[in-house]
A and B are shown apart, each in its own frame.
Chain A
Amino acid sequence: MSVGKIFKFHNDLDTDQIIASQYLLLPTIDEMKEHAFESLEPDFAAKVTPGDFVVGGENFGCGSSREQAPGVLKALGVQAVVAKSFARIFYRNAINIGLPVIVCRELPDAVKTGDEMELSLTDGTAMANGKSYSCTRLPAYMQQILSQGGLIASLNEQAH
């Protein structure tokens, strides 16, 4: 996969910060995405470019079950979310919509916003600042869901 810029966030980053509940009533994910991370980084949507990475600490995506949280990140073109650990519902939702979520214990503490990184989903490695980090490799069936673009595409593929 290609090189992308890092946006770094803290431990226990909750889904209200990714997309606040007052924006959940906007009719489409594309309208919601403009408000991603608004409380923490008001310019996030303007600054992020397709292929960039979101890096978090422990328990990334805790809180609400809102699938719109991984949804807005995918819609903004975020290549993957890399964190030390993920909250359960966010993790499941992300895979289902085709947004790679990668557990990497060491990388988050070694990078800052603006650094660049590169990720190999198949090898389970990440490169940042000239150093290589090992990441948890996704099980084959999750990789398959991701490579087909999410649960719906994957189910449709199986049906044919």
Chain B
Amino acid sequence: MGQTIVEKIIARNIGAGSVKPGDIVTTSVDRVMLDDIMIPFIADKFHEMGFSKIWNPHKAVLIYDHLVPSSQLDDIRHYKAGDAFALKYGIEHVHRSDGICHQLMTEAGYVKPGDVVFGTDSHTTTYGCVGAFSTGIGYTEMAAILGTGNLWVKVPETIKIIIDGTLPDNVMSKDVILRIIGDLGADGATYRALEFAGAAVERMSVSSRMTMANMAIEAGAKCAVFTPDEKTAEYCGIVLNDFQRNLIGDKDADYCRILTYHGEDFVPVMACPSQVDKIRKVSELEGLPVDQVFIGSCTNGRLEDLKMAAKVLDGKSVAPFVKLIVTPASRKVYQEAAACGAIKTLVEAGAMVTHPGCGLCCGRAGGILCDGERVVATNNRNFLGRMGTSKVEIYLASPAVAAACAAAGKIVSPI
């Protein structure tokens, strides 16, 4: 019997020849991500458990992103708790303003293909873009990992998603994952792994794959994985070893479900208020007035996203009364977008460019909205009240669609 990618990763991690779905195994954790919202709670639980040292401080990464820059005085309390914890237990990988956690974990080289990684944020599924097994957990379990280096997991069943052919020019990987979430439903992949394959996926950049792995949780998935290839190796700055090169879903592996799509069949879509699986074609929503547009987040704040937005807005202006907020996913993305001229184009079009962080996506700062307003946003959740009051309408879309809407002042399809 062959194995899925996730089964291969877990089997190697625990030193077994093979594992099967449903097996409960204790993993040795390769890396953990702690975020600024959860760090005071992680510290409290760590102390409550009676630990006096972190199993391997080098494997822990602490990232301040939800609260950067501070918008409330309480935010500073979290920085202080984080700094004190890092200092006391020797965590050296601390990022205080470098970008959004999920962007940094792969961009800064903390996660490699085949790793087992946990983070205190549900979008930790993102690191499957480089072929890692990664998922979100609560702060109590994070404290337990910090003390022991281990966490038990149930080996998930895998849903294989094959996308062959070529995507149309106006379709981004965001449109692809939104449609898949719509097809699976918000709980269609609960407890399961998503494994992506096919010609359209192979052609995608690591950044595009990141958008899809990031949103796997919106179908309830435990994780989402892509086979590491030469693009992955270049992105991670490594040469793939035999194990990493072999992270391919075997033909005779046991998949609980296989979905096949043709790239040519995808069109620009949106997730409508207030469920991520409420997917409609953009063409069916055209004309709805828009108050604000947000391009950013760990889902779609990367260089290719900002370049796409700049391409759409080149020589155009943001429509009157519309606010366009652009948030690069990291300092590095910000620098690269500045160097290539994308930032200049966006600013000339009328965008407000903010420092990298989670602020608006989690409704904490930098453009929160009020009753009756409608926002087109490139982030991953349109839950009630997510970006302001509970009477804000959030439409999730790709950067190409979002930029087109900003110029038009209403929902329109990208060219």
Contact = CB atoms under 8 A, between A and B. Distances in A.
Interface of A: 12, 14, 16-17, 20-22, 24-27, 39-40, 58-59, 62-68, 85, 87-89, 92-93, 96-97, 150-152, 155-156, 159
B166 interface: no
A87 B390 contact: no
Contacts of A65: 119-122, 124, 136-138
A89 B74 contact: no
A27 B74 CA distance: 8
Contacts of B277: 12
- The bracket for how many chain B residues form the interface is 35 or more
Of all A-B residue pairs in the complex, the 6 with the closest CB atoms, nearest first, are A67-B138, A59-B187, A65-B136, A93-B138, A25-B74, A65-B122
Contacts of A59: 186-187, 190, 220
A151 B140 contact: yes
Contacts of B50: 156, 159
B140 A93 contact: yes
Contacts of B136: 65, 89
Interface stretch (B240-248, B287-295, B322-330, B380-388): B380-388
Contact of B37 (A24, A85, A96): A24
Contact of A67 (B66, B139, B381): B139
Contact of A22 (B120, B275, B364): B364
A40 B390 CA distance: 9
Contacts of A66: 37-38, 138
Contacts of A92: 137-138, 141
Contacts of A63: 122, 217, 381, 383
B138 A96 contact: yes
A115 to B, nearest CB: 25
Nearest to B35: A65
A92 B72 CA distance: 31
B139 to A, nearest CB: 5
B383 A17 contact: yes
A16 B139 contact: no
A118 to B, nearest CB: 27
A64 B363 contact: no
A27 to B, nearest CB: 7
B275 A152 contact: no
Interface stretch (B41-49, B227-235, B331-339): B41-49
A21 B385 CA distance: 9
Contacts of B310: none
Given A27-B77, A64-B121, A16 B383 contact: yes
29 contacts: A14-B384, A16-B385, A17-B383, A20-B385, A25-B75, A25-B78, A39-B384, A62-B187, A62-B220, A65-B119, A65-B121, A65-B122, A65-B136, A66-B37, A66-B38, A66-B138, A67-B41, A67-B139, A88-B191, A89-B122, A89-B135, A92-B137, A92-B141, A93-B137, A93-B141, A96-B141, A150-B140, A155-B49, A156-B49
Given A12-B187, A20-B363, A65-B120, 18 more contacts: A12-B275, A17-B383, A20-B385, A21-B66, A25-B74, A39-B390, A40-B384, A59-B190, A63-B122, A63-B381, A65-B122, A65-B137, A66-B38, A67-B139, A92-B138, A155-B144, A156-B50, A159-B50
